[in-house]
A and B are shown apart, each in its own frame.
Chain A
Amino acid sequence: MNKLPSFFLFILIWYLFSFFQIIPPPHTVAITFATLFIHGDPVLGRTILEHSISSLLRVLAGAGIAFLISIPLGISMWYPRVYSLFHPALEILRPIPPLAWIPLSYIFFASFPRPTLFAQIFIVFIGSFFPSFVAISDYARNTPYEYVELAKVFGADKMKILRHIVIPYSLPGIITGVRVGLGVGWMSIIAAEMIATSGLGLGYFIMVMYEVGGRVPEIISGMAMIGLIGYAMNAILLKVEERFPWCLQSEM
């Protein structure tokens, strides 16, 4: 798909808004972005890359822990007993937005060595866990009945069915879950960094720039970085998704 027309349309609309002095023009933001990338800002003394890496590491930690739990738990939802045990409780917790967990997380982790850091990782965990869990459990629970029956005819026990049918069938759900979970986790960390101080991170950077004032290009640069990283994460995982020959239905 040719993305250039969409890109140019976006830049054109941006210039239109900047003409009315609502926001600075794209070229001003581009210069600021480059300066922040190379030299950093004088207030915090860090480059935008350092802030990005810090946020990204928190997301990877929180989302990684979330996936370590959501993958096995999601697959195990194939068992009706596990499903009936966990599903109602998880359905109550699922609609609670990650940001609503912020105050409680600071209380939870107050006695930890770095409470802010742990609280932020926890917020990402919450943001990543539920989307990935839902995607994986949906795939696991929708494993075609005829495959399971056929496997039983070949003498497969429950463990074999799980290993050879349910898990392979859930693979697209795992990748989709990881992709969506990382996206939500990424959005959650920015909000968590804006609320509580962490010394580094894109959310923190944007908030400090706003507080000291006069730094709209810096704020937009931070937002652009958030968008770029989110886009890159999604694109990489979409590529991974494409490389796996798992569309069982199309093979049949």
Chain B
Amino acid sequence: MSNMARKMARRFSIPVTKVAIPVIIPVIPVVITLTLLLSGCTTSSVNVVKLSPPDMLEQIKLGKIDAFVAWEPFPSKAVKEGSRIFMKSSDIWPNHPCCVVAYRSGQLNDDVLEALVWAHVKATRFINDAKNKEKIVDYASDFTGLDRETVEIALQNIKYVEYPDEKEFRHYYEFLKESGILKKSVTDIGYGSEDDFFNDFLRKDIYSKVIRKLEENPDYVPEKVGSIRLGFITADLHHLALYVAIKEGYLNKVFEKVETKQFPNGVAIMEAFRLGELDAAYLGGAPATLKRINDDIEIRIVSGVNNEGSAIVVRGDINSPKDLAGKTVAIPGFGTVQDFLMRKVLSEGGLKEK
């Protein structure tokens, strides 16, 4: 036998054990891992997951989640698709703050802000005027792409406002602080105290000026100013005032040019503010506050958009907070107003988040 052949013969005797090892290596973890991963949550806790509201609708329909908390029109849409509203946010936390109009500090002068706030106030009053109900339902349907019946139910849950409730805003801020979600304090970003911060963050002088002028002269229209880049969240019914301001021509009356940009969520809007891609935007008070403090993105709030307008949606036999034990519930994000609402309900039922 040649030298090469002997080596070949030696080689032939290796395989069985040597081959088995690399083949077995992947088999063991597959079995262990699948077993571990498929184990569910215990009945003493609630499995809280973060989902986007459109995903919440799909997952509750498929039975993958048992409940979710989201803003309108998603709860009303879920009801139409067979789920049930368990609690409205107004029942959990009356008059809670939600969306706001904010601008990038130093980006807009007071004349531009006056024009913006005027258009917003006019649009909000148009929405709240009972005689415009039919038109508002049409606008809401166009804006969200939903049918009239769904938006009609959704609109009943939203309180469109001109300026946020400062006391409730501070209540939300306390929640952020207590839950450890705020990484920085207001002093870290250059304010002497929380009062200083809120006096600057919630800027009321422009709104007060517009209101005073409208009281003196209901036909008052501010002087036309240049252009503005306005952001908002796609199909968010809370931001209906912006759509109404465009459709009713309020924005065109006071701006030479209005450029609107759509975003998937408030975090994306705050990033756009940071990058200087926006002058002002309609967005949730939660990302506005969180990113203002945690990331020091310099924005100020000049108007409120809505209070309340969210709801907890459930499927099956969930009739009290205690019934959520062992279930999977979805929130749109940590530190959001909806997260706060869900935590309140869970604590009422003596439940813990998993």
Contact = CB atoms under 8 A, between A and B. Distances in A.
Given A147-B8, A150-B8, A58 B15 contact: no
B321 to A, nearest CB: 20
Residue from A42, A197, A213 whose CB has the most chain B CB atoms within 10 Å: A213
Interface stretch (A83-91, A112-120, A222-230): A112-120
A248 interface: yes
B8 A211 contact: no
A164 interface: yes
Interface string A33-44: 000000000111
Nearest to A53: B36
A71 B22 contact: yes
Given A110-B62, A164-B12, A208 B334 contact: yes
A178 interface: yes
B290 interface: yes
B335 A212 contact: yes
B335 A43 contact: yes
B195 to A, nearest CB: 21
Nearest to B48: A199
A60 B35 CA distance: 12
Interface residues of A, number: 50
B275 interface: no
A71 B18 CA distance: 14
Contacts of A171: 18-19, 22
A214 interface: yes
- Majority SS at the chain B contact face: helix
A252 B6 CA distance: 10
B49 interface: yes
Contacts of A111: 62
A214 B30 contact: no
Contact of B26 (A43, A63, A210, A212): A63
Contacts of B354: 199
Interface of B: 4-5, 7-8, 11-12, 14-15, 18-19, 22-23, 25-30, 32-34, 36-38, 47-51, 55, 58-59, 62, 64, 179-184, 267, 270, 290-291, 293-295, 333-335, 353-354
Please give me the 8 A-B residue pairs with the lowest Cβ-Cβ distance, nearest first: A214-B294, A42-B180, A213-B294, A214-B183, A64-B30, A60-B29, A67-B26, A64-B26
Interface of A: 42-45, 57-58, 60-61, 63-68, 71, 110-111, 113-115, 117, 121, 147, 150-151, 163-165, 167-168, 171, 174-175, 178, 197-199, 204, 208, 210-215, 244, 246, 248, 251-252
